[in-house]
Structure 1
Amino acid sequence: MNTVCSPRITHSIGVRHARVPQHPIPLLYTDIRPQRISIRPTGRSNQSKASYSSNSRPSIKKERGRLYGRTALITGGSSGIGYAIAERFLAEGASRIVLVGRRREKLQDASKRLSESIIKRINQFGHVNGEIATRAPEEDVSERTTSSGQDVDILVGDISVASEWMTDLEKAMIDVDILINAAGISISNILPRTSPDHISGMLKTNLEGAIYTSRAMLKSCMRARSREKNRKLNDTEQSHQKISKSIINISSLLALKGVTGTVTYAASKAGILGLTRSMAVEAADILKVSNVMLRCNAILPGYIDTPMIQDFSVDKVNELRAQIPLNRFGDPREVADAAVFLSTNGYANNCVLNLDGGLSAV
């Protein structure tokens, strides 16, 4: 279906984007043609009919978290590892999260769940690292007001065809401090039985999409000198002359460990490691005379406990767990822990973190 809608705000125009968790668990990929649509980012406005009422919020004691004031754009952020990272970043005080995905309804549901997660934390602990503010999709972005709250925006776009909406992607990347490349697809099949469409789809989503988002991030950094003059810096940044931004690529254990039936997927994730290394060097070279530095790191998850493993039989799950020295799957929140570390450690560059319970040692 290729229905074209008249855009009301240009920076959130995009084509639909795949929502897939990042781990070496087999999953089917459906080839869906891109569809250009226009949606409004979620958020809060004083002059419109917001779905969120400040009068219903409990009292909040504002505290600065490790990601206070930061903005993160997360591809594949509506579920799995991407969603866990978004939730953890908000808990760490991030002021704005942009979730990128193909399906609008999934993104809206993720935005709602993130809002509920923050409010639950407020009710439980009596404080949170900032406030969360949500806006109804129909609100006019021109009516947005500046606040100390936390925003969850959504950008509908298919990262596998990011080259077709690069202008919109580059606009969305303005003021982004942390890029998380978590979108990807996985197909379990031996190479002779893997269709050309599946091969192309995996390479475009897992590798080419990450290249295009990284390109947009680097271009944004190159243009950031004038934009950063009046930026509010956190305590860590105030002690440095340069603004520290970062890209975190979600690769996979299969980039390093051979497993039958994962040839194309493994190749795409190995390519992510090459992207990480090259970006770490190239960004430093290009931005050396700028007031911005861009670091690039990667996380290599092993088997992560996501809804996708519900499709596995009990015997299959037990077989996989038995291969892992820790005898369990990882939790998406443990991957989010690593993402926070890589986002806040200013000396982490070309850092590759294995999170596989020791499976890579077997």
Structure 2
Amino acid sequence: MVASNLNIAHYWLDHLYGAFMHRMRLSPPFFSKGWGGSKLELLERMTRQLISQGLAQVSLQLWPPPAIRPIWYTVWESRTARLQEGIFATPCDDLVRQALPPESMTARVRLLTPKNIPFHDTACVVHLAGTGDHGFERRLRLGAPLLKENIATMVLESPFYGNRRPPLQRGSRLLCVSDLLLLGRATIEEARALLYWMERDAGFGRLGVCGLSMGGVHAAMVGSLHQTPLAVLPLLAPHSAAVAFCEGILQYGTAWDVLMQDEACSSGMTLEEVRSRMRTILSLTDVTKFPIPKRPDAAILVAATDDGYIPRHSVLELQRAWPGSEIRWVTGGHVSSFILHNKNFQQAIRDGLARL
């Protein structure tokens, strides 16, 4: 009975947080400027062409990723650790780059490494941002305890977030649906390029990619497309953004009224028709349509038992699509697990890397 009541409490914490953040409209909803017009049409067309060609074949054709040359400076260093920041031009193709806001065209990363340990003796994990995770600090705190085990942390600042946020956007509330697809496309290409740089130029040992929530979806895509073995660690992540925005609590923070009246919908569509269109567009982010990672046994999914943002069936769909992967359940909701289960996330990173 106590456990059951605790589970209910975790679930309702998600809904209380969601009510405060989304239903009270203390900040603008997601997609307050509509679908995104020609940008959305371009991204839909490009993505559907890639899917029709077969993503496994396309990922081979696009290997290796474009070379990047980050410019580094030291933020701080201690007796045992060093934190560096690097910048590089986003390696996206010209059409995607031109669709990005100018602020998002330059990528920023921070790299936390153990000091005086050669990179070839150091593992490194790229941490991708969840919804609302601006800057670097939260993910650096997640990775910092792993330094003593020679596991470095690379944190990528997402397009549309932090210093890469366009001036009219408030917080993480993307202005258009097209921005969500742009954010994902650029994040995936930048993460793939970083992993290739870490392997080829920096000479790190074992590599991994992880992320919480939205970052977990992107991590799963990166792990699927990368051509060398990685530890892949989607944390509190759905198999598709369609689940988050059409089934989970984020649906209450979405500007459905604006989307219903957007000219791209020929005006005046019903709510059900708009939701259906959203599902169709965001089905392009369905990770189960992507190739299986090179080492599915090094893929560990961590999910919450009472997540109000990510339904249980969505996590199970991803696990089924990757035979040999593991799913670990933590007790809690999305919000409480985000706060309370860092040790479980860190253990998943250790174990994923150890399996390579």
Tell me the TM-score range normalised by the shorter chain. 0.3 to 0.5
Query: Which TM-score applies when normalising by structure 2?
Result: 0.39
TM-score (norm. length: structure 1)? 0.38
Greater percentage in helix:
2
